[in-house]
Amino acid sequence: MWNKHICKIALLAALFTVASSVDAHAGQKLGDVLINVKDSWGGLTGILSTIAYIFGCILAITGIFKFKDHVDNPAQTKLSEGIKRMLAGGMFLSLPFAIRAVRGSLFDGAAMGDNKFTNSGFTNASLSAGGLDKMVVDVMSNIAGPAEVMLTAFTYIAAIGLLLVGISRLTKRVEEGPRGPGGAGTITTFLASGALFSFGDSMGTFANSVFGTGGNALKTTSLVSNTVITDNDDRERIQTVIEGVMVFVMLVGYIAFIRGWFVLRAFADGQQGATVAQGLTFLFGGTLAINLGELINVIMRTANVTGLSFT
């Protein structure tokens, strides 16, 4: 329930930010608005760090009192009560170290970035002014980069939030099941946090697992033989429009991939309606959407047909 309230507040803040940005800068484009939203989130990391520091101090103090209560009455207060609070308090107080530890648990620090995803961008082609093809390409070329940056910023902030939730669960009792200190929900919360901290690496790992080193294909290198489209300019314009549509699919894939980690965490927490199959569908479906170009290449090579080629 606490997580839902935070998501609602963050969404409202983002909407108000968009509204104020549009009013104050009427001449800006949609990509500029997305960048404004991302910039407005810059202070959230400081707020979350402050919250972590305050909770760390509180847990450290209460941990000391729990040690005292254990000495006074060992039968009523277990030694683990104080240890858990001191451990969680120390992690809160050293949040940057906790972030590096969670992130490094999935990807070795020396190899960080080896599996990151990349794309080759749009094909340069002159499009007809005022035409629908130019509108599609202009919109996607304007929002693609800012949207990717905003989603990356969102994953980092969400990862911090999940890390704080995971640390706070270390103070709970084992009887609380999946949400206890050693429960599946708590472990998956740390796992999802590390995956979101390493958004590019985790997405690149999935892409490399499916397509090897040929993932992240975007730019079209050839389109339909000359017997079908004989005009080179027309062929280049169609290629560029296809790439614009693929960028849109890629952004949808980003969102699906992020969603997959939250679904897996919800399943581990025991929430109704969340399943492993649903989470894996989001993760692998998002991977296929992000690498739609290479997926088309694979299908066409398998069917032994020609016409489109992506790189």
Q: Give me the number of domains the chain comprises.
A: 1
The strand pairing partners of 215, in sequence order, are none
State the pLDDT at residue 224: 60
37 found inside a domain: no
Biggest CA-to-CA distance, the chain: 90
**pLDDT tens per residue across span 67-116:** 888 888 888 888 888 888 898 888 888 888 888 888 877 776 544 445 55
Q: With a cut of 80, say whether residue 26 has pLDDT above it.
A: no
Q: Residue 163: pLDDT band by 50, 70, 90 thresholds?
A: very high
120 found inside a domain: yes
Lowest mean pLDDT among 13-17, 40-44, 195-199, 232-236: 13-17
Percent of the chain with pLDDT over 70: 78
103 found inside a domain: no
Q: Residue 283: pLDDT band by 50, 70, 90 thresholds?
A: very high
- Give the range of the structural domain holding residue 303, as residue numbers without chain letter: 108-310
Range with top average pLDDT, 26-30, 233-237, 296-300:
296-300
Task: Report DSSP letters for the chain, one per residue.
Answer: -HHHHHHHHHHHHHHHHHHHHHHH-TT--HHHHHHHHHHHTHHHHHHHHHHHHHHHHHHHHHHHHHHHHHHH-TTTS-HHHHHHHHHHHHHHHTHHHHHHHHHHHHS-GGGTTTT------PPP----TT-HHHHHHHHHHHHHHHHHHHHHHHHHHHHHHHHHHHHHHTTS-GGGGGGSTTSHHHHHHHHHHHHHHTHHHHHHHHHHHHHGGG-S--SEEEES-TTT---HHHHHHHHHHHHHHHHHHHHHHHHHHHHHHHHHHHHHTT-TT--HHHHHHHHHHHHHHHTHHHHHHHHHHHHT--SEEE-
58 found inside a domain: no
State the pLDDT at residue 238: 77
Lowest mean pLDDT among 10-24, 164-178, 238-252, 254-268: 10-24
222 found inside a domain: yes
Lowest mean pLDDT among 11-15, 135-139, 178-182, 198-202: 11-15
- Give the CB-side neighbour count of residue 188, counting CA atoms within 13 A: 18
Q: With a cut of 60, say whether residue 9 has pLDDT above it.
A: no
For residue 161, the Cα-to-chain-centroid distance in whole angstroms is: 13
**pLDDT tens per residue across span 216-231:** 677 777 666 555 555 6
Phi-psi region of 222 (alpha: psi -120 to 50; beta: other; left: phi over 0): beta
Q: With a cut of 70, say whether residue 128 has pLDDT above it.
A: no
Q: Residue 23: pLDDT band by 50, 70, 90 thresholds?
A: very low
Q: Which residue has the higher pLDDT, 311 or 286?
A: 286
State the pLDDT at residue 259: 94
Q: Are 218 and 290 in contact (CB under 8 A)?
A: no
State the pLDDT at residue 14: 47
256 found inside a domain: yes
6 found inside a domain: no
Spatial distance between the Cα atoms of 253 and 216, rounded to a whole number of angstroms: 11
CB-count burial class (<10 Å; 0-12, 13-18, 19+) for 5: exposed
173 found inside a domain: yes
